[in-house]
């Protein structure tokens, strides 16, 4: 089992412009924080799937993914098995991918409450993501995080991102599925 960092859908057609019916001068000031994982930290996640609790450890691999060196390569270990995933942040957003495979758009910048974007794979599904809250205080096993951004997806998943830490919690239809349980230097 792999930690569900994203929805599992391939990146596709997207709307990078905010789908908010407000005049430009009415839009709130966008948040300029980074939501990239901190390469100096070790992340421990607790996943709750099918009545089972699983721990996974995520560390920066210090290896360069030669195909796309602008991506940070991370190592995830679950029950002694290791897998790799990639993360990058640009002016356009935060992305997660897998070596020699697809990538996903986790966040689209600039962030502000009401911001929406779409991702699709015509063979799988179409999803709309909406920033539904900003500046939340969210408590998980690893502690309380401030200025957290909440993103709700049309398929029932909710994602919580803390500045300078990254994803800290996921929920499916209101049930916690994954949470950051420890963060070590």
| 162-174 pLDDT per residue, tens | 999 999 999 999 9
Q: Note whether residue 92 is domain-resident.
A: yes
Q: Average pLDDT for residues 124-145, to the nearest whole number?
A: 92
The mean pLDDT of the chain is 83
Classify residue 59: in a domain, yes or no.
yes
> Does residue 26 register a pLDDT over 80?
no
Q: How many domains does the chain contain in total?
A: 1
Reply yes or no on whether the pLDDT at 112 is more than 80: yes
Q: Does residue 9 lie within any of the structural domains?
A: no
In a domain, 141, yes or no: yes
pLDDT at position 121 over 90? no
In a domain, 18, yes or no: no
The DSSP call for residue 31 is B
pTM of the prediction? 0.81
**59-76 mean pLDDT:** 88
Q: Is 72's pLDDT higher than 70?
A: yes
Mean pLDDT calculated for residue range 86-108: 90
Supply the range of the domain harboring residue 121. Answer: 24-184
Residue 137 in domain: yes
Rounded CA-CA distance 122/116 in Å is 19
pLDDT score of 22: 39
Say how far apart CA 111 and CA 32 lie, in whole Å. Answer: 8
105 or 172, greater pLDDT: 172
CATH number for position 161: 2.40.360
Residue 2 has pLDDT above 90, yes or no: no
Q: Decide if 11 is inside a domain.
A: no
Asked whether residue 149 is domain-assigned, the answer is yes
């Amino acid at each position: 089992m792999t930690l569900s960092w994203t929805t599992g859908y391939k990146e596709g057609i997207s709307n990078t412009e905010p789908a908010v019916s407000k005049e430009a001068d009415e839009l709130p000031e966008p948040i300029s924080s980074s939501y990239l994982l901190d390469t100096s930290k070790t992340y421990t996640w607790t996943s709750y799937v099918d009545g089972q609790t699983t721990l996974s450890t995520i560390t920066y691999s210090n290896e360069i993914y030669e195909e796309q060196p602008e991506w940070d390569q991370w190592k995830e270990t679950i029950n002694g098995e290791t897998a790799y995933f990639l993360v990058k942040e640009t002016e356009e957003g935060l992305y997660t991918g897998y070596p020699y495979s697809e990538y996903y758009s986790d966040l689209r910048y600039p962030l502000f409450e009401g911001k929406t974007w779409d991702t699709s794979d015509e063979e799988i599904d179409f999803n709309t993501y909406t920033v539904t809250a900003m500046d939340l205080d969210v408590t998980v096993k690893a502690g309380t995080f401030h200025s957290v951004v909440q993103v709700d997806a049309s398929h029932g998943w909710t994602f919580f991102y803390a500045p300078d830490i990254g994803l800290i919690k996921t929920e499916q239809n209101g049930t916690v599925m994954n949470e950051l349980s420890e963060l070590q230097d």
